[in-house]
Amino acid sequence: MNQDFPFLNDDFEEIRDLLQQFENLKSGQSHSFLDEDSFELIIDYYDEHDELPNAMQAAEIAIEQFPYSSVLLLKKANLLIESKKYQDAMDLLEKAAILDSTDINLYILQTDVYLAMNQHQKAAALLEEQISVFDGDDKTELLLELADVYDDCEEFDKVFECLKMTLEHAPNNEEALHKICFWTEFTGRNEESIRLHTGIINEHPYNQLAWFNLGTAFQGLKLYEKAIDAYQYAIVIDEKFDYAYRNMGDAYIRLRKFADAIDVLKKHLEIAKPEDVIYEAIGHCYDRQKKYTQARYYYRKASHLSPNNDKLYYKIGAAYMTEYNWENAIKSILSAIKINKNNAEYLMALGNCYMELDRNKEGLIHLLAAVRLRPSSVNTWLEFIGGLYRSGFYDEALSQLEAATRKIGQKPVFLFCRAAISIATGHYKEGLLQLENALQDSPKQLKKMLAIDPTLLHHPGVLELVNQYKPVRKRNK
């Protein structure tokens, strides 16, 4: 028995008595009179407890006793739909319509039959016809049902239109407000959403969902400042509106206001269940602020909630790399690779860490593995060739440069690499000529050559060429 909610005990006693009376009726024993409402309760009980045969038997007996009850006919029709006897259900619904055409459940069930029979257009036409007949909450329910029908037949713009009509009819309907937020983003109809929700807010200024939806529409148009203003109104109305804090945090990140983003995302953590994406976003913000210890702390908290997310371990490793903490970087990147062995970016980072520790052989092995994973990537070839160059394997670097050119064609940065190798191997004039050709072709790629070997600028001839092709900055008038 339920001690906390004694009224539930009364309900249990009532349904238990009704079920006993129904059993007595079936077996021909004496029983109390079961009225129409009692049969409804019995049918619902069996249906809710997945006792479909008993529910069907109760419905049939009930209809024998109350043949003009449209409600009982609808109950049986629903059971027939559950049994996938769609034509029998439709026949019964047509009988119910003769008795009472004002019951909205009649049209909901007919819609279910049409959808089950893959007749979406008939379902939509039925609902469109009835929407003009009903008003109030019934009209709202039919509009929401029609939106679901359009969703089923993948007419997504009509889903949006239907939800828009729902909110024009019932501006505070939470289901429609929740759904239109998704469909605005899905269909890209942000301008219409802004007009719709601005109208709702003008009439209902304390509707926090309308403010939130207005914010998401502004965010969809990359109007982040306006989005933040809307979210702030939403949380003034409901200070525990976690999704408003979440979206506001994203908007602040887009604006590169990382301190503000951290504040609102931490507020999200105070009022909602911790999520890895929130911890990761806070970590990202600290990362961008160059506060790497805090960044790693939040990346780790994210990884505790999502231990198979290799990107988190890589981000921890990358944060160590920015501080030249190569040993710890290696540990974290190896954790990422353990989860995802086929990520060239991880292999390149690991290779570079080993190179920084003068463990060149291990570094080159991982850089070569990255090339094998992404043989069409200029960057992977460049990292591998750069590793060979820094290790003093100039002939092999030149050989791999030729292999890269055969694989993906001549790239401007390869001209710089060839010049660097020529200069490093004592072919000074040839190297300068190659460098000049490279600077003429693509001067912006010079920085990639200098990343491989900054000491090249110590050569007077190199410095002279670089200065000669340095782009002239435009002066402000």
| Tokens matching residue 178 | 């929740």
- The whole-angstrom separation of Cα 305 and Cα 377 is 33
How many CB atoms neighbour CB 372 within 10 A?
11
3-state helix, strand, coil in the chain (%, to 5): 80, 0, 20
Reported as half-sphere exposure (CB side, CA atoms, 13 A), residue 440 has a value of 6
User: Which residues does the chain have with pLDDT short of 70?
Assistant: 1-12, 28-32, 471-477
Do residues 92 and 69 make contact, with C-beta atoms less than 8 angstroms apart? no
pLDDT reported for residue 57: 87
Do residues 224 and 251 make contact, with C-beta atoms less than 8 angstroms apart? yes
* Residues 18-31: tens digit of each pLDDT: 888 887 777 766 55
How many CB atoms neighbour CB 268 within 10 A?
23
pLDDT reported for residue 7: 34
pTM: 0.82
Query: What single-letter DSSP state applies at residue 470?
Result: P
Dihedral of the alpha carbons of 223, 226, 231, 233, in degrees to the nearest 10: -170
* Residues 335-372: tens digit of each pLDDT: 999 999 999 999 999 999 999 999 999 999 999 999 99
Output the CA–CA distances (angstroms, integers) from residue 250 to 46, 181, 255, 341, 474, in the order listed: 48, 16, 9, 30, 35
pLDDT reported for residue 468: 84
* Residues 258-313: tens digit of each pLDDT: 999 999 999 999 999 999 999 999 999 999 999 999 999 999 999 999 999 999 99
| Tokens matching residue 190 | 């942000």
Question: What is the sign of the dihedral through the CA atoms of 423, 429, 432 and 438?
Answer: negative
Q: Look at residue 20 and give its three-state secondary structure.
A: helix
Intervals of CATH 1.25.40.10 along the chain: 189-257
Do residues 416 and 389 make contact, with C-beta atoms less than 8 angstroms apart? no
DSSP H or E segment with residue 161: helix 156-169
- The whole-angstrom separation of Cα 277 and Cα 64 is 59
Residue 81 Cα to chain centre, angstroms: 34
- The whole-angstrom separation of Cα 157 and Cα 308 is 37
- The whole-angstrom separation of Cα 380 and Cα 39 is 74
Do residues 174 and 162 make contact, with C-beta atoms less than 8 angstroms apart? no
- The whole-angstrom separation of Cα 236 and Cα 319 is 36
| Tokens matching residue 386 | 């750069």
Output the CA–CA distances (angstroms, integers) from residue 63 to 66, 84, 316, 343, 460, in the order listed: 5, 20, 69, 66, 103
- Domain 189-257's class? mainly alpha
| Tokens matching residue 413 | 């940065």
pLDDT reported for residue 477: 39
How many CB atoms neighbour CB 418 within 10 A?
24
Query: What single-letter DSSP state applies at residue 472?
Result: P
Short-list 107, 139, 137, CA closest to 123: 107
Short-list 409, 430, 289, 134, CA closest to 418: 430
